[in-house]
Structure 1
């Protein structure tokens, strides 16, 4: 059974009690409390009860109808609900979150009828005036159903609980597929920061660590530096992980290699 976080019964009964038919509704309340409402079913747009009072020869069928919201109207409501974590979490947990009426109001809808003009009523007793005592008892039985299980209000407006929850789950899964941010990150309001790996420590006294790796001279033995350039050796070695004033160390050393070639004749062809 759902927890009645939101009680729709007072607002629902207030609308009917505003008809100023005090004696009729007083008797209907007594009959409902005495168990004279034998059954009540709530479906899309219609609540049907069988009522047999102490003076009735048989049970009468009383019906209260309201306009069910269309598919497009429910789609508007569901699209807002799934974006509000507190609403969708409560509903999926089987609770009716407080303030949910504001979602319907934002979609231009009212979850409960606001006036007697928004409902239609009839009873097989055909007594006048309407609503009769059987309909009054049905109103109190319906209010009790709303208090016991607030999802019955949704069913009355055209969306049963199982269908609503199924659609909310699908919408949430579709939203998660478009936005891979995790729930924890969404709760914190920020994405997780992945720390950058620490730069490797280099021992300047270790030549192999300084240059990264040794050149395999077996492959280049007897070969003249590429293109006869005296600084080609710098391009054959793995570049050191050091720089000077933002410039790679190989480029800092390159002028020295070329100057040495000019003075020593290294790399010249006769």
Structure 2
């Protein structure tokens, strides 16, 4: 395995997906020329105009060529469904806010009938002002590879190509979280004074009863005193065989350290799961 392959294998998974898309293109030589252009710094600039990428690539002529790229953006309705689904799990919001692309985020789009990444390069619409009639020309190909570096720096670039900027997505997620009553702190409600003492007393009694219902005793929170019907209790492992480590994604440490920590935690989870099963079934070790 050469240095470049090792470097590619260490890239973030969403960058790998983009590079795999490029590798699937059958005219390898054309893309290879574009890769060399990108390495040599011929891509002078990459900017976004809405969901469209506008780039300047220096070619053989004095003036740089104008390149544009775009992928079919999702509709407002599509994005509303996606944001609703993302907001249902706090881990998605936390990882996106930390600049990480959750490993299971593609399932969010798939569950809403969408695909975040294009299937083939033919799904990427591109144009270049150079005289080369073939598409992609080496200038377009150079922008493809340069975008891979942009994805590494900011995973929201792929969302931008689909029609939503980083600010749009994070603001929408914050709004959804604010609307969720489970995420709202309890605020004291000031009651207007009334002239009727009877009404005031009834209100106080009602508020007191509601407070008793909603009060949480942390010491008793996880206890359940009622007997369980054993015929209704079924204990099975998760169907997808995923642990909490799989759900949370890669640990933000150096590769070797992350691997060691993950291996240790896997053993801990296995032992904890076995002990939980033994306890649940009422058996001794």
TM-score range, shorter chain: 0.5 to 0.7
Q: Is the 8 A contact 2:96 2:102 kept in 1?
A: yes
> In structure 2, the residue corresponding to 1:129 is in which secondary structure?
coil
The answer for the alignment partner of 1:31 in structure 2 is: 37
Deviations 1:105-147, CA, capped at 9 Å, x for gaps: 1111111111233221110003122110000001001111111
1:66 matches 2:66? no
1:16 matches 2:22? yes
The answer for the alignment partner of 1:144 in structure 2 is: 149
Distance change in 2, residues 1:24/1:5 (3 Å): closer
Distance change in 2, residues 1:194/1:121 (3 Å): closer
Q: Is the 8 A contact 1:43 1:155 kept in 2?
A: no
Larger radius of gyration: 1
The structure 2 residue matched to 1:94, chosen from 85, 91, 99, is 99
**Unaligned residue ranges in structure 2 (runs of 5+):** 1-9, 187-214, 221-285
1:102 offset after TM fit, Å?
A: 1.2
Distance change in 2, residues 1:106/1:56 (3 Å): same
Distance 1:179 1:5 in 2: 38
Distance 1:5 1:162 in 2: 25
Distance change in 2, residues 1:22/1:174 (3 Å): same
1:194 offset after TM fit, Å?
A: 6.7
Distance 1:56 1:192 in 2: 73
1:178 offset after TM fit, Å?
A: 8.3
Distance 1:101 1:44 in 2: 22
Distance change in 2, residues 1:7/1:194 (3 Å): closer
Distance change in 2, residues 1:18/1:177 (3 Å): closer
Distance change in 2, residues 1:21/1:177 (3 Å): same
The answer for the alignment partner of 2:50 in structure 1 is: 44
Q: Is the 8 A contact 1:69 1:157 kept in 2?
A: yes
Distance 1:20 1:36 in 2: 24
> In structure 1, the residue corresponding to 2:217 is in which secondary structure?
coil
The structure 2 residue matched to 1:130, chosen from 128, 135, 152, is 135
> In structure 2, the residue corresponding to 1:128 is in which secondary structure?
coil
* RMSD between aligned residues: 2.8
Answer 1 or 2: which has greater helix percent. Answer: 2
Bigger CA drift: 156-165 or 16-25?
A: 16-25
Q: Structure 1-normalised TM-score?
A: 0.62
Distance 1:168 1:43 in 2: 23
1:49 offset after TM fit, Å?
A: 1.0
Distance 1:133 1:117 in 2: 16
Deviations 1:194-219, CA, capped at 9 Å, x for gaps: 789xxxxxxxxxxxxxxxxxxxxxxx
**Unaligned residue ranges in structure 1 (runs of 5+):** 182-190, 197-270
Distance 1:127 1:80 in 2: 44
> In structure 1, the residue corresponding to 2:46 is in which secondary structure?
strand
Bigger CA drift: 40-49 or 101-110?
A: 40-49
